[in-house]
Amino acid sequence: MGGQCIPKVSEAYTENRINEILDAALEVSARKPLHKVTMKDIVRQTGLSQGGVYKYFANIEEVWFALSNRFDLEIDFKGFLTQLFAASLSPDQTLRAIFTFIGQEIKASMESGYSKLAFELNAIYASQPELVKKQLAEQAAEAEAESGHGYNYFFQQLMNYCAEGEAKGQFRPLIPLTDILMLIQVTVDGIIRDATLELCFAGDELPAELSVRQSVDRLMDSLYISTMTLLGGF
C-alpha cells in the first residue's frame, strides 16, 4: 500500500499564517518595550503552538525584520509616483504633492504602531551592529525583488526628479542636490522620531502649538517651502 499523500499548503494559507503572527507581534509590541518582547509572548498572543510560530520565524529578529518589510511593502510608492509624474503638473505642484504624501504616511505610521516599532528597533540596532548588517542585506534583497517599495526608492526617485528639473532649467539649486535631499531625509526622520516619542510618552499633554505629532501637516508644508527655496523654484 502506498503512503498517504500529505496535502500541500497553499501560498495564500502561508501568507495568512505569517500575517497572523506579525499582527500578534505588533499587538504585543504596542504594550511592551520591544527589547522585552520574546517569542513566547508572540506564541501566546497568536494562540498557536510553539511549532506553529517557529515554522515561519526562527527567532525574534526575523519577526521584526518581516514586520518592517511588511510596512514598507504596504506603501505603494511606485504607484503614487507613477501617477503623479504622469499628471504633468508644475514642479511646485509636484513637490507639494510629494510632501503631502510623506505627511500622510507619517501619520499613518503613528496610527499603525509602526513608528514606535521602528524607533525601538533603531535603539536595538545601535548596540547590535550585526543586526544592522543583516537588515541592510535583507533590504537590498527586498529592493531587488520588490522594486518600487521603501523610502530608499522614494527618495531616489525624488532625487532623480530634481536632477531632471535642474537639467531642464526648472530648478536652479542654491546648494548641491545631494545636500538638499539629505536635509529632507534628516528632517523627515526627526519629525517621525519626535512625534513617536511624544506619542509614547507625552500623550496629549502638550499644547497643540508645541506638539510635533499634531503639526505634521504644517511641518511638511514648511519643509516643502524650504525645499523649493533651496531648489530656486520660487
pLDDT along the chain (234 residues), means of 10: 58 91 91 89 94 93 86 84 93 96 91 83 74 62 58 89 95 96 94 86 70 91 96 85
Cα-to-chain-centroid distance, residue 223: 19
Instruction: Name the pTM for this structure.
Output: 0.78
Identity of the residue numbered 73: L
CA 188 vs CA 6, 61, 166, 220: distances in Å: 50, 26, 23, 8
What confidence score (pLDDT) does residue 51 get? 93
Q: Are 109 and 71 in contact (CB under 8 A)?
A: yes
Which residue bears the cell 508572540? 42
What confidence score (pLDDT) does residue 8 get? 64
What confidence score (pLDDT) does residue 140 get? 56
Which residue bears the cell 533651496? 230
Q: Which domains does the chain have, with CATH numbers?
A: 1-58 (1.10.10.60), 75-230 (1.10.357)
Give the end-to-end CA distance of the chain in Å, rounded to a whole number.
Answer: 81
